[in-house]
Amino acid sequence: MTIVLGDNQYGKAETHVVRVTKSGGTHEIRDLTVTVALAGDFAETHLSGDNSKVVATDTQKNTVFAFARDPIGDIEDFGLRLARHFVGEFASVYRARVHIDEAAWSHIGVGGKPHDHAFVRAGSEKRMATVTCTDDGSWVVSGVGDLLVLKSTGSEFHGFLKDRFTTLAETEERILATSVVARWRHVDTQVEWARSHDDVRRLLLETFALKHSLSLQQTLYAMGEAVLRARPEVAEIRMSMLNKHHFAVDLSPFGMANENEVFYASDRPFGLIEGTVTRDDAPEPGFAW
């Protein structure tokens, strides 16, 4: 029997960097969580403990902070600068992957005007980017996470398989609520990142609102299709949608009717719907995912 080392990578996970940009007395906040993963000629550190080709994870952390000293710009560009640095600087690194989550902060309103340097976290939603670089190319995947959406009607669910364990009643009207994680791969790196991100997000939300849903799967596909039809820079989109179930409460024991107005919101267990929508002529993903 021969035992060999398989695929491996390592890096510094979740370096949390907050960048304050000052323009006179007015400040802006960027709040990033950065994860770096490197792959390369690292077999000997596993097999013999020889670390001569290893870029210490502490060095990776420090690099993130040092690069944040310059204007960050779009997180896709920040990720590209970091990943290209690791591949270009160290001969032992053949692939660098940088994943970034960005939390949004907005100025607190005081007397009808935004305060110069006081902020409030703008919900749970985060903007995401994953950048992968090798000597042969670069790949960018943008995304949005923890995007909570709900529609109080315009959703049905019926016609599903039933067996002796089925208790769920069919319905022609229900609340549809979900937490969306959407990640979309770009055709190349020549993209206006912020404009593209904002438009993809808008298309996802508008389609969720307007599509009369017979299933969350149907809604997922419609959202992805809308993005691909409108945004030629997107090669494919992958979505994970957590179905946040809402059940109409039986008020009959209290002599009351409930016309789909009072619901119990269940957080667990939940349905998890995942899918990919892609162009048939999309370029090969390379190391994007």
Active site residues: 12, 57, 245
User: Which residues fall within 8 angstroms of residue 42, CB to CB, at 6 or more apart?
Assistant: 8, 10, 53, 54, 92
CB 180 within 8 A of CB 238: no
Distance CA 222, CA 208 (A): 8
Own/partner contacts of 8-11, CB < 8 Å, gap of 24 or more, are 8/39, 8/42, 8/46, 9/37, 9/38, 9/39, 9/95, 9/97, 10/37, 10/38, 10/42, 10/57, 11/35, 11/36, 11/37, 11/38, 11/57, 11/60, 11/97
- Count how many Cα atoms sit within 13 Å of the Cα of residue 203 in the half-sphere of its side chain: 22
Round the CA-based radius of gyration of the chain to a whole number and report it: 23
